[in-house]
Structure 1
Protein backbone atom coordinates (compact mmCIF):
# COMPACT_ATOMS: atom_id res chain seq x y z
CA UNK A 1 0.00 0.00 0.00
CA UNK A 2 1.30 3.43 -0.89
CA UNK A 3 2.05 5.86 1.90
CA UNK A 4 -0.20 8.81 1.14
CA UNK A 5 2.76 11.10 1.83
CA UNK A 6 4.33 9.79 -1.38
CA UNK A 7 1.51 11.34 -3.37
CA UNK A 8 2.55 14.72 -2.05
CA UNK A 9 6.07 14.16 -3.40
CA UNK A 10 5.06 14.37 -7.05
CA UNK A 11 7.48 17.14 -7.90
CA UNK A 12 10.99 17.20 -9.26
CA UNK A 13 13.06 14.70 -11.24
CA UNK A 14 11.07 11.75 -12.57
CA UNK A 15 13.62 9.10 -13.55
CA UNK A 16 12.68 6.34 -16.00
CA UNK A 17 14.71 3.16 -16.37
CA UNK A 18 15.99 1.98 -19.74
CA UNK A 19 16.93 -1.61 -20.58
CA UNK A 20 19.56 -0.51 -23.13
CA UNK A 21 21.37 1.68 -20.64
CA UNK A 22 20.86 -0.93 -17.89
CA UNK A 23 21.69 -4.32 -19.47
CA UNK A 24 21.33 -6.32 -16.25
CA UNK A 25 19.75 -6.05 -12.83
CA UNK A 26 22.94 -5.08 -11.00
CA UNK A 27 23.63 -2.17 -13.32
CA UNK A 28 20.02 -1.06 -13.11
CA UNK A 29 20.03 -1.05 -9.32
CA UNK A 30 23.35 0.79 -9.17
CA UNK A 31 22.23 3.47 -11.61
CA UNK A 32 18.84 3.97 -9.97
CA UNK A 33 20.45 4.19 -6.54
CA UNK A 34 22.75 6.92 -7.85
CA UNK A 35 19.73 8.80 -9.21
CA UNK A 36 17.95 8.51 -5.88
CA UNK A 37 21.01 9.67 -3.97
CA UNK A 38 21.21 12.65 -6.28
CA UNK A 39 17.62 13.66 -5.61
CA UNK A 40 15.29 11.82 -8.00
CA UNK A 41 11.76 12.18 -6.64
CA UNK A 42 10.10 9.29 -8.44
CA UNK A 43 11.24 6.18 -10.33
CA UNK A 44 9.42 4.48 -13.17
CA UNK A 45 10.36 0.94 -14.14
CA UNK A 46 10.08 0.66 -17.91
CA UNK A 47 10.88 -2.64 -19.59
CA UNK A 48 9.14 -3.71 -22.78
CA UNK A 49 10.52 -7.26 -22.88
CA UNK A 50 8.43 -10.43 -22.66
CA UNK A 51 10.57 -11.89 -19.87
CA UNK A 52 7.93 -11.95 -17.16
CA UNK A 53 10.13 -13.43 -14.45
CA UNK A 54 12.95 -10.94 -15.06
CA UNK A 55 10.49 -8.07 -14.92
CA UNK A 56 9.07 -9.32 -11.64
CA UNK A 57 12.51 -9.73 -10.09
CA UNK A 58 13.70 -6.33 -11.23
CA UNK A 59 10.52 -4.59 -10.13
CA UNK A 60 10.74 -6.15 -6.66
CA UNK A 61 14.39 -5.19 -6.32
CA UNK A 62 13.63 -1.64 -7.42
CA UNK A 63 10.75 -1.43 -4.97
CA UNK A 64 13.04 -2.42 -2.09
CA UNK A 65 15.51 0.25 -3.19
CA UNK A 66 12.87 2.97 -3.55
CA UNK A 67 11.45 2.12 -0.13
CA UNK A 68 14.89 2.70 1.39
CA UNK A 69 14.77 6.25 0.05
CA UNK A 70 11.04 6.71 0.70
CA UNK A 71 10.46 7.38 -2.99
CA UNK A 72 7.61 5.93 -5.08
CA UNK A 73 8.18 3.25 -7.70
CA UNK A 74 5.74 3.18 -10.60
CA UNK A 75 5.47 0.45 -13.22
CA UNK A 76 5.18 1.45 -16.86
CA UNK A 77 2.03 0.19 -18.59
CA UNK A 78 1.50 -2.97 -16.49
CA UNK A 79 -1.12 -2.82 -13.74
CA UNK A 80 -0.83 -6.56 -13.08
CA UNK A 81 2.90 -6.32 -12.42
CA UNK A 82 2.32 -3.31 -10.19
CA UNK A 83 -0.21 -5.31 -8.19
CA UNK A 84 1.93 -8.45 -7.98
CA UNK A 85 5.04 -6.73 -6.65
CA UNK A 86 3.18 -4.16 -4.55
CA UNK A 87 4.59 -1.15 -6.37
CA UNK A 88 3.38 2.29 -5.41
CA UNK A 89 1.51 2.71 -8.66
CA UNK A 90 1.47 2.59 -12.43
CA UNK A 91 1.97 4.85 -15.42
CA UNK A 92 -0.46 4.27 -18.25
CA UNK A 93 -0.23 5.18 -21.91
CA UNK A 94 -3.35 5.83 -23.93
CA UNK A 95 -3.44 2.20 -25.10
CA UNK A 96 -2.84 0.61 -21.70
CA UNK A 97 -6.36 0.67 -20.28
CA UNK A 98 -8.48 3.29 -18.56
CA UNK A 99 -7.38 5.10 -15.43
CA UNK A 100 -10.66 4.26 -13.72
CA UNK A 101 -10.08 0.53 -14.24
CA UNK A 102 -6.54 0.76 -12.90
CA UNK A 103 -7.85 2.62 -9.86
CA UNK A 104 -10.39 -0.10 -9.15
CA UNK A 105 -7.70 -2.77 -9.53
CA UNK A 106 -4.91 -1.10 -7.55
CA UNK A 107 -6.90 0.76 -4.92
CA UNK A 108 -7.34 4.34 -3.81
CA UNK A 109 -3.84 4.83 -2.39
CA UNK A 110 -1.93 3.85 -5.54
CA UNK A 111 -0.33 6.54 -7.67
CA UNK A 112 -1.68 6.48 -11.22
CA UNK A 113 -0.26 8.63 -13.99
CA UNK A 114 -1.45 8.98 -17.56
CA UNK A 115 0.26 9.96 -20.79
CA UNK A 116 -1.79 12.61 -22.55
CA UNK A 117 0.57 13.47 -25.44
CA UNK A 118 -0.33 17.01 -26.58
CA UNK A 119 -4.00 16.93 -25.53
CA UNK A 120 -5.49 18.92 -22.66
CA UNK A 121 -8.77 17.11 -23.27
CA UNK A 122 -7.19 13.70 -22.65
CA UNK A 123 -5.75 15.14 -19.46
CA UNK A 124 -9.15 16.37 -18.31
CA UNK A 125 -10.60 12.92 -18.93
CA UNK A 126 -7.79 11.31 -16.94
CA UNK A 127 -8.41 13.68 -14.06
CA UNK A 128 -12.12 12.90 -14.10
CA UNK A 129 -11.22 9.20 -13.82
CA UNK A 130 -9.04 9.84 -10.80
CA UNK A 131 -5.43 10.03 -11.99
CA UNK A 132 -2.76 11.49 -9.71
CA UNK A 133 -0.72 13.22 -12.41
CA UNK A 134 -0.72 13.71 -16.18
CA UNK A 135 2.24 13.66 -18.57
CA UNK A 136 2.59 15.69 -21.75
CA UNK A 137 5.15 15.46 -24.54
CA UNK A 138 7.25 15.19 -26.48
CA UNK A 139 8.47 18.75 -26.00
CA UNK A 140 11.81 18.10 -27.67
CA UNK A 141 13.22 15.46 -30.01
CA UNK A 142 13.32 12.14 -28.16
CA UNK A 143 15.56 9.17 -28.85
CA UNK A 144 13.20 6.93 -26.86
CA UNK A 145 10.13 7.89 -28.90
CA UNK A 146 11.38 9.53 -32.10
CA UNK A 147 7.93 9.48 -33.73
CA UNK A 148 6.14 11.27 -30.89
CA UNK A 149 4.10 14.30 -31.90
CA UNK A 150 5.54 17.60 -30.62
CA UNK A 151 3.68 19.23 -27.75
CA UNK A 152 3.45 23.04 -27.53
CA UNK A 153 5.09 24.70 -24.54
CA UNK A 154 1.94 26.70 -23.72
CA UNK A 155 0.17 23.41 -22.99
CA UNK A 156 2.06 23.23 -19.70
CA UNK A 157 0.82 26.62 -18.55
CA UNK A 158 -2.76 25.74 -19.45
CA UNK A 159 -2.51 22.41 -17.65
CA UNK A 160 -0.93 23.96 -14.57
CA UNK A 161 -3.67 26.56 -14.28
CA UNK A 162 -6.69 24.39 -15.07
CA UNK A 163 -5.97 20.82 -13.91
CA UNK A 164 -6.17 19.61 -10.30
CA UNK A 165 -3.11 17.31 -10.51
CA UNK A 166 0.66 17.72 -11.02
CA UNK A 167 2.02 17.91 -14.56
CA UNK A 168 4.95 15.96 -16.01
CA UNK A 169 6.91 17.07 -19.07
CA UNK A 170 8.58 14.34 -21.11
CA UNK A 171 10.47 13.95 -24.35
CA UNK A 172 14.07 14.89 -25.06
CA UNK A 173 14.50 16.75 -21.79
CA UNK A 174 18.05 17.56 -20.71
CA UNK A 175 19.86 20.07 -18.55
CA UNK A 176 19.86 22.59 -21.37
CA UNK A 177 16.07 22.69 -21.78
CA UNK A 178 14.59 21.42 -18.51
CA UNK A 179 14.36 24.94 -17.14
CA UNK A 180 12.12 25.92 -20.04
CA UNK A 181 9.44 23.34 -19.25
CA UNK A 182 9.65 24.00 -15.51
CA UNK A 183 9.19 27.73 -16.08
CA UNK A 184 6.29 26.95 -18.43
CA UNK A 185 4.50 24.98 -15.71
CA UNK A 186 5.88 21.44 -15.33
CA UNK A 187 5.89 20.07 -11.79
CA UNK A 188 8.12 17.17 -12.85
CA UNK A 189 10.53 16.44 -15.69
CA UNK A 190 10.78 12.86 -16.91
CA UNK A 191 14.30 11.97 -17.99
CA UNK A 192 15.93 8.81 -19.29
CA UNK A 193 19.02 9.25 -21.46
CA UNK A 194 20.32 12.58 -20.17
CA UNK A 195 20.31 11.12 -16.67
CA UNK A 196 21.32 7.48 -17.00
CA UNK A 197 23.82 7.95 -19.82
CA UNK A 198 25.72 10.59 -17.89
CA UNK A 199 29.15 9.82 -16.42
CA UNK A 200 28.06 10.80 -12.91
CA UNK A 201 24.39 9.93 -12.46
CA UNK A 202 24.25 11.13 -8.87
CA UNK A 203 25.64 14.54 -9.79
CA UNK A 204 23.38 14.82 -12.83
CA UNK A 205 20.31 14.00 -10.73
CA UNK A 206 21.41 16.69 -8.30
CA UNK A 207 21.65 19.22 -11.12
CA UNK A 208 18.09 18.42 -12.23
CA UNK A 209 16.89 18.56 -8.63
CA UNK A 210 18.47 21.98 -8.15
CA UNK A 211 16.25 23.37 -10.91
CA UNK A 212 13.27 22.80 -8.62
CA UNK A 213 14.84 23.97 -5.36
CA UNK A 214 16.18 27.33 -6.47
Structure 2
Protein backbone atom coordinates (compact mmCIF):
# COMPACT_ATOMS: atom_id res chain seq x y z
CA UNK A 1 0.00 0.00 0.00
CA UNK A 2 1.28 3.46 -0.91
CA UNK A 3 1.86 5.94 1.90
CA UNK A 4 -0.46 8.93 2.13
CA UNK A 5 1.63 12.03 1.61
CA UNK A 6 0.99 15.58 2.73
CA UNK A 7 2.50 17.67 -0.06
CA UNK A 8 1.69 21.11 1.33
CA UNK A 9 5.24 22.13 2.28
CA UNK A 10 7.83 20.07 0.44
CA UNK A 11 11.56 20.62 1.05
CA UNK A 12 14.18 19.81 -1.60
CA UNK A 13 17.70 19.56 -0.22
CA UNK A 14 20.77 21.29 -1.66
CA UNK A 15 23.97 21.06 0.35
CA UNK A 16 25.61 23.71 -1.85
CA UNK A 17 23.26 26.33 -0.34
CA UNK A 18 23.17 25.09 3.24
CA UNK A 19 25.83 27.40 4.78
CA UNK A 20 28.00 24.41 5.63
CA UNK A 21 25.24 22.62 7.49
CA UNK A 22 24.53 18.94 6.83
CA UNK A 23 21.33 17.73 5.25
CA UNK A 24 20.31 16.27 8.60
CA UNK A 25 20.83 19.62 10.35
CA UNK A 26 18.81 21.55 7.78
CA UNK A 27 16.03 18.98 7.55
CA UNK A 28 15.74 18.68 11.34
CA UNK A 29 15.28 22.42 11.62
CA UNK A 30 12.87 22.52 8.66
CA UNK A 31 10.53 19.82 9.96
CA UNK A 32 10.41 21.66 13.29
CA UNK A 33 8.96 24.52 11.24
CA UNK A 34 6.31 22.43 9.51
CA UNK A 35 7.88 20.77 6.45
CA UNK A 36 5.67 17.79 5.54
CA UNK A 37 7.73 16.00 2.89
CA UNK A 38 11.46 15.92 2.04
CA UNK A 39 13.19 15.23 -1.26
CA UNK A 40 16.86 14.33 -1.18
CA UNK A 41 18.54 15.79 -4.24
CA UNK A 42 22.24 15.08 -4.79
CA UNK A 43 23.73 16.01 -8.15
CA UNK A 44 27.44 16.01 -7.37
CA UNK A 45 28.30 13.08 -5.15
CA UNK A 46 29.13 9.41 -5.49
CA UNK A 47 26.48 6.72 -5.28
CA UNK A 48 27.85 5.60 -1.91
CA UNK A 49 27.69 9.09 -0.48
CA UNK A 50 24.15 9.51 -1.83
CA UNK A 51 23.23 6.24 -0.12
CA UNK A 52 24.71 7.45 3.20
CA UNK A 53 22.81 10.72 2.97
CA UNK A 54 19.58 8.85 2.23
CA UNK A 55 20.05 6.47 5.16
CA UNK A 56 20.71 9.34 7.54
CA UNK A 57 17.55 11.12 6.45
CA UNK A 58 15.49 7.93 6.66
CA UNK A 59 16.66 7.47 10.25
CA UNK A 60 15.52 11.02 11.01
CA UNK A 61 12.23 11.06 9.10
CA UNK A 62 10.79 7.58 9.43
CA UNK A 63 10.09 7.79 13.19
CA UNK A 64 8.30 11.10 12.53
CA UNK A 65 6.17 9.65 9.70
CA UNK A 66 7.55 12.20 7.25
CA UNK A 67 8.10 10.73 3.78
CA UNK A 68 11.45 10.81 2.03
CA UNK A 69 11.44 11.15 -1.76
CA UNK A 70 14.66 10.50 -3.69
CA UNK A 71 15.44 12.67 -6.68
CA UNK A 72 16.23 10.77 -9.89
CA UNK A 73 17.77 7.67 -8.32
CA UNK A 74 15.35 4.75 -8.16
CA UNK A 75 18.15 2.47 -6.97
CA UNK A 76 18.76 4.65 -3.90
CA UNK A 77 15.04 4.91 -3.16
CA UNK A 78 14.67 1.13 -3.22
CA UNK A 79 17.86 0.51 -1.26
CA UNK A 80 16.75 2.63 1.70
CA UNK A 81 13.03 1.93 1.53
CA UNK A 82 12.13 5.54 0.76
CA UNK A 83 8.51 6.50 0.21
CA UNK A 84 9.14 7.43 -3.38
CA UNK A 85 11.22 8.77 -6.22
CA UNK A 86 10.93 11.98 -8.23
CA UNK A 87 11.71 11.81 -11.94
CA UNK A 88 12.58 14.60 -14.33
CA UNK A 89 11.74 14.63 -18.02
CA UNK A 90 15.15 13.17 -18.90
CA UNK A 91 15.29 10.54 -16.14
CA UNK A 92 14.21 6.90 -16.11
CA UNK A 93 10.81 6.63 -17.83
CA UNK A 94 7.91 6.43 -15.42
CA UNK A 95 6.69 3.06 -16.73
CA UNK A 96 10.12 1.51 -16.12
CA UNK A 97 10.30 3.01 -12.64
CA UNK A 98 6.88 1.57 -11.85
CA UNK A 99 7.84 -1.85 -13.18
CA UNK A 100 10.94 -1.91 -11.01
CA UNK A 101 9.54 -0.16 -7.95
CA UNK A 102 6.11 -1.72 -7.83
CA UNK A 103 2.83 -0.23 -6.74
CA UNK A 104 4.03 0.72 -3.25
CA UNK A 105 6.38 3.42 -4.51
CA UNK A 106 5.21 7.02 -4.84
CA UNK A 107 6.42 8.38 -8.18
CA UNK A 108 6.44 12.09 -8.83
CA UNK A 109 7.20 13.53 -12.24
CA UNK A 110 8.38 17.00 -13.19
CA UNK A 111 5.99 18.75 -15.57
CA UNK A 112 7.17 21.75 -17.52
CA UNK A 113 4.03 22.05 -19.66
CA UNK A 114 0.41 20.93 -19.95
CA UNK A 115 1.55 18.18 -22.30
CA UNK A 116 4.02 16.86 -19.73
CA UNK A 117 1.30 16.84 -17.07
CA UNK A 118 -1.22 14.99 -19.23
CA UNK A 119 1.35 12.38 -20.27
CA UNK A 120 2.54 11.80 -16.70
CA UNK A 121 -1.00 11.32 -15.43
CA UNK A 122 -1.78 8.88 -18.24
CA UNK A 123 1.32 6.85 -17.35
CA UNK A 124 0.42 6.61 -13.68
CA UNK A 125 2.27 9.39 -11.85
CA UNK A 126 1.20 9.93 -8.25
CA UNK A 127 1.89 13.66 -8.22
CA UNK A 128 3.33 16.34 -10.49
CA UNK A 129 6.16 18.73 -9.75
CA UNK A 130 5.36 21.90 -11.72
CA UNK A 131 8.72 23.31 -12.68
CA UNK A 132 9.67 26.09 -12.71
CA UNK A 133 6.89 28.42 -11.65
CA UNK A 134 9.20 31.42 -11.47
CA UNK A 135 12.76 31.94 -12.68
CA UNK A 136 15.28 30.40 -10.32
CA UNK A 137 19.05 30.17 -10.02
CA UNK A 138 18.83 26.84 -8.18
CA UNK A 139 18.49 24.86 -11.42
CA UNK A 140 20.44 26.18 -14.39
CA UNK A 141 18.84 24.15 -17.19
CA UNK A 142 15.20 24.80 -16.46
CA UNK A 143 12.43 25.41 -18.99
CA UNK A 144 10.75 28.84 -19.33
CA UNK A 145 8.79 29.71 -16.17
CA UNK A 146 5.18 28.57 -16.09
CA UNK A 147 3.97 31.56 -14.10
CA UNK A 148 0.70 31.59 -12.21
CA UNK A 149 -1.30 31.21 -15.41
CA UNK A 150 0.62 28.05 -16.24
CA UNK A 151 -0.15 26.58 -12.83
CA UNK A 152 -3.84 27.36 -13.29
CA UNK A 153 -3.86 25.87 -16.79
CA UNK A 154 -2.35 22.58 -15.59
CA UNK A 155 -4.71 22.53 -12.61
CA UNK A 156 -7.63 22.65 -15.04
CA UNK A 157 -6.34 19.59 -16.92
CA UNK A 158 -5.43 17.15 -14.13
CA UNK A 159 -6.72 15.83 -10.84
CA UNK A 160 -3.28 14.81 -9.59
CA UNK A 161 -1.70 16.60 -6.63
CA UNK A 162 0.37 19.53 -7.92
CA UNK A 163 3.56 20.56 -6.14
CA UNK A 164 4.93 23.82 -7.50
CA UNK A 165 8.65 24.59 -7.44
CA UNK A 166 10.95 27.30 -8.74
CA UNK A 167 11.53 30.69 -7.18
CA UNK A 168 8.86 30.20 -4.51
CA UNK A 169 9.15 31.99 -1.18
CA UNK A 170 7.01 33.46 1.59
CA UNK A 171 6.23 36.48 -0.58
CA UNK A 172 4.69 34.61 -3.52
CA UNK A 173 3.72 31.20 -2.12
CA UNK A 174 0.13 32.16 -1.36
CA UNK A 175 -0.43 33.25 -4.96
CA UNK A 176 0.93 29.93 -6.23
CA UNK A 177 -1.45 28.01 -3.99
CA UNK A 178 -4.35 30.23 -5.05
CA UNK A 179 -3.54 29.46 -8.68
CA UNK A 180 -4.22 25.78 -8.03
CA UNK A 181 -1.11 24.16 -6.55
CA UNK A 182 -1.72 21.74 -3.69
CA UNK A 183 1.73 22.28 -2.27
CA UNK A 184 4.84 24.38 -2.60
CA UNK A 185 8.33 22.93 -2.89
CA UNK A 186 11.24 25.09 -1.88
CA UNK A 187 15.01 24.86 -1.88
CA UNK A 188 16.84 28.09 -1.10
CA UNK A 189 13.96 29.70 0.81
CA UNK A 190 14.62 27.18 3.59
CA UNK A 191 18.02 25.59 2.90
CA UNK A 192 19.86 28.91 2.57
CA UNK A 193 17.97 30.65 5.38
CA UNK A 194 19.85 31.69 8.49
CA UNK A 195 17.04 30.09 10.51
CA UNK A 196 15.45 27.21 8.53
CA UNK A 197 12.86 26.60 11.25
CA UNK A 198 11.58 30.17 11.09
CA UNK A 199 11.65 30.13 7.28
CA UNK A 200 9.66 26.90 7.17
CA UNK A 201 7.17 28.21 9.71
CA UNK A 202 6.51 31.31 7.59
CA UNK A 203 5.88 29.17 4.53
CA UNK A 204 3.75 26.67 6.43
CA UNK A 205 1.36 29.47 7.43
CA UNK A 206 0.47 29.93 3.76
CA UNK A 207 -0.55 26.32 3.19
CA UNK A 208 -4.18 25.27 2.99
CA UNK A 209 -5.37 22.44 5.22
CA UNK A 210 -7.29 20.76 2.39
CA UNK A 211 -4.56 19.67 -0.05
CA UNK A 212 -5.35 16.77 -2.37
CA UNK A 213 -3.97 13.42 -1.27
CA UNK A 214 -3.27 10.39 -3.44
TM-score (structure 1 length as normaliser): 0.90
Structure 2 equivalent of residue 113 of structure 1:
108
| 2:116 is the alignment partner of 1:136 | no
1:15 to 11, 15, 18: 11
Question: Are 2:3 and 2:83, in contact at CA under 8 Å, matched by a contact in 1?
Answer: no
Structure 2 equivalent of residue 86 of structure 1:
81
- What CA deviation, in whole Å up to 9, does each residue of 1:33-88 have, x standing for no partner? 11111111110000012411111011011112111221110111111111111111
Return the offset for 1:12. 1.0
2:200 to 200, 205, 208: 205
Question: Are 2:135 and 2:167, in contact at CA under 8 Å, matched by a contact in 1?
Answer: yes
Counterpart Cα distance in 2 of 1:90 and 1:17:
14
Q: Comparing 143-152 with 122-131, which one deviates more in the overlay?
A: 143-152
Question: Are 2:111 and 2:129, in contact at CA under 8 Å, matched by a contact in 1?
Answer: yes
What is the root-mean-square deviation in Å for CA atoms of aligned residues? 1.7
Return the offset for 1:147. 4.4
Return the offset for 1:109. 1.6
Counterpart Cα distance in 2 of 1:18 and 1:50:
12
Counterpart Cα distance in 2 of 1:140 and 1:80:
31
- What CA deviation, in whole Å up to 9, does each residue of 1:17-37 have, x standing for no partner? 00213477x721011011111
Counterpart Cα distance in 1 of 2:37 and 2:194:
21
Return the offset for 1:161. 3.1
Return the offset for 1:186. 0.8
Give secondary structure in 1 for the equivalent of 2:125.
coil
Structure 1 equivalent of residue 29 of structure 2:
34
Counterpart Cα distance in 2 of 1:82 and 1:101:
14
Structure 2 equivalent of residue 183 of structure 1:
178
Question: Are 2:133 and 2:151, in contact at CA under 8 Å, matched by a contact in 1?
Answer: no
Return the offset for 1:143. 1.4
Give secondary structure in 2 for the equivalent of 1:211.
coil
TM-score (structure 2 length as normaliser): 0.90
Question: Are 1:38 and 1:202, in contact at CA under 8 Å, matched by a contact in 2?
Answer: yes
Return the offset for 1:155. 2.2
Give secondary structure in 1 for the equivalent of 2:194.
coil
Q: Give the gaps of 5 or more residues in structure 1.
A: none
Question: Are 1:36 and 1:69, in contact at CA under 8 Å, matched by a contact in 2?
Answer: no
Counterpart Cα distance in 1 of 2:141 and 2:68:
27
